[in-house]
Amino acid sequence: MSTENIKDIKIDPSKFSFVNEADKLHDKKFEDKPIGYFKDAWIRFRKSKASVVAAIIILAVIAFSIIAPFCIKSHDQSFMVTTYAKNSPRIVVLRNLGFKTGYTSRDFSDRSLMKALAIGVGAEEYKGQDVSFADAMDSEYMPILEIKKITQSVGPDKKPINTYTADIETYLEVGFLYKSIEQQELESILAWEQETGKKILYPLVENNEYNMDPTDGNCWYKSDAKGNPLKEKGDKVTKIKEYDPSLILADNYKRDRDGNPVYYEYTGGGSVDTAQYKIRVLYINYYEYLYGAEPNYVFGTDAQGRDLMLRLAGGIRLSLLIAIVVSVVNFIIGAFYGSTEGYYGGVIDLIMERISDILSNVPFIVVATLFQIHLAKKVGPIPCLLFAYFTTGWIGTAYRVRTQFYRFKNQEYVMAARTLGAKDKRIIWKHIFPNSLGTIITSAALTIPSVINSESMLSYLGIVKLGSAARTSLGTLLSDAAAIWTNYPHLLFFPAVTLSLLMICFNLFGNGLRDAFNPALRGVDE
């Protein structure tokens, strides 16, 4: 609006009224309370939605790493069952609700499909009775969950071949295994079966011409010389060429004189305590007998058969612990070093900067490698890694602190403090350092993802050996999955997603801290 237009505006005098000096114009009392430095920083931090969300995600990841071990009572991260190595996630709660879990999709031929189906049939046939494939499909031990038949034409004569795509639960696919146990454990298993009503011991299989692999506990049915399953029609044996839900396979169980199946066999030993018995067990129930719970692997298992969720939680704890220790130590060293050279300047600054230049030109990967080669056997891989970070990791923080001190040390408020007799120590830590805090804290926060990233790289390349039964790191998990992730994607998915979240969220969190602790923005509404 122009000045001429403002002059033309006329206000009605009736809108105004005269008041005495003692009269109150407003009933509301306005108060202005001073806001502390950290409260003001918190107010500004909350205004950055991305930083708040990043902080929540970081806390959630940390909480997961701490709480996860307490959620699994049956085992810890060093617990290993090679029988279930590389298996996909299996969540008992979801399975009990009817969801498919712990499964994978796979192509089957007629023979391989029938062998997988025979596991479920054999689990229902523990008394040696005849059970068809169709009757066993609803068994809780049936590994095949869903079948889709595909007929393909192959060869020059276009001969049709039946193939099947099916979802199979990998934990049930193990089926039956042979075990050698002592008398005392046999009695314990029999007592457990009586108490729970679940079957562990299943009939032994005859080692005859119908048994193509005596070491495979899943070959409980008769097979011909080519491994094709057989069925009985009176005395006649017929080759099965195609999966038929109504077929009943001829069992090949060991039986006593009365025709009853034999569940265990004495193999040696001179007394009750030392007597050895051969048994054939349904492994998923045997697992529950041994460890007190069904297989419950929320993130699946790794290549050695360890719980991937607990390994991931341990890897997060180790990676974060290393990163936080490095960040704190380098923050302290860098703050003292940078403030000293930035405040005093001159010859002191020149000498200290040359030391920093020499150290900064030494590649970190070279330092880490040399420490691992010469010190790892004496002090361990983790102290060596920390020493490598402490050698050069503080240089970036020192450079930023030095820059900030050069920026603020000649400001009026610093000169005023010096004029009033303030000592160097007070000027450095009371007047200059707080103004540099935003940049320093941001640097320290961004050091954490940088350390996690470099530690993961060193572990992935095998330069630092952090993998063992008791501990692991995110980089080690990624390294273990590198060669097999195409067949077992869960081994790479969970550590890769976790590492990506930590990288992104810590960077966003650091940006929020930078704005929150910047004194230039104090009291500014954004």
- Residue pair 263/201 in contact by the 8 Å Cβ criterion: yes
pLDDT at 439: 73
DSSP state of 284: H
Between 12 and 487, name the one with better pLDDT. Answer: 487
Q: Does the pLDDT value for residue 235 go beyond 60? A: no
pLDDT at 66: 92
Average pLDDT value over all residues in the chain: 83
* Average pLDDT estimate for 449-453: 88
Q: Does the pLDDT value for residue 497 go beyond 90? A: yes
* Average pLDDT estimate for 61-88: 88
Tens of pLDDT, residue by residue over 173-229, are 999 999 999 888 999 999 999 999 999 999 999 988 888 888 999 999 888 877 788
Stretch(es) of the chain classified as CATH 1.10.3720.10: 54-67+305-521
pLDDT at 134: 86
Tens of pLDDT, residue by residue over 274-286, are 789 999 999 999 9
Q: Where are the alpha helices (DSSP H) in 409-516?
A: 412-419, 424-426, 433-461, 474-481, 490-516
pLDDT at 407: 81
Q: Does the pLDDT value for residue 448 go beyond 50? A: yes
pLDDT at 53: 93
| Beta partners for residue 255, in sequence order | 261
Tens of pLDDT, residue by residue over 48-58, are 889 899 999 99
Tens of pLDDT, residue by residue over 346-402, are 888 899 989 988 888 888 888 888 888 888 888 888 888 898 888 888 888 888 888
- 3-state SS, residue 72: coil
Tens of pLDDT, residue by residue over 95-123, are 888 888 888 888 888 888 888 999 999 99
Contacts of 456 (CB under 8 A, 6+ apart): 319, 473, 474, 475, 478, 499
pLDDT at 174: 94
- Residue pair 170/102 in contact by the 8 Å Cβ criterion: yes
Q: Where are the alpha helices (DSSP H) in 73-127?
A: 92-96, 110-124
- Residue pair 444/327 in contact by the 8 Å Cβ criterion: yes
- Residue pair 58/65 in contact by the 8 Å Cβ criterion: no
pLDDT at 526: 47
Q: Where are the alpha helices (DSSP H) in 97-244?
A: 110-124, 133-136, 170-173, 183-196
Residue 25's pLDDT band (cuts 50, 70, 90) = low
Sign of CA dihedral 385, 391, 394, 395: negative
Distance CA 309, CA 151 (A): 40
Distance CA 490, CA 492 (A): 5
Q: Does the pLDDT value for residue 525 go beyond 60? A: no
CATH class of residue range 54-67+305-521: mainly alpha
The residue behind tokens 């806390």 is 59
Distance CA 431, CA 424 (A): 10
pLDDT at 238: 66
Q: Does the pLDDT value for residue 159 go beyond 70? A: no
The residue behind tokens 């596991």 is 119
Residue 35's pLDDT band (cuts 50, 70, 90) = low
Among candidate residues 370, 394, 396, 393, the one with its CA nearest the CA of residue 464:
370
* Average pLDDT estimate for 20-44: 64
Q: Does the pLDDT value for residue 61 go beyond 90? A: yes
pLDDT at 149: 74
Distance CA 102, CA 432 (A): 59
DSSP state of 84: G
- Residue pair 343/431 in contact by the 8 Å Cβ criterion: no
The residue behind tokens 């869903």 is 146
- Residue pair 78/306 in contact by the 8 Å Cβ criterion: yes
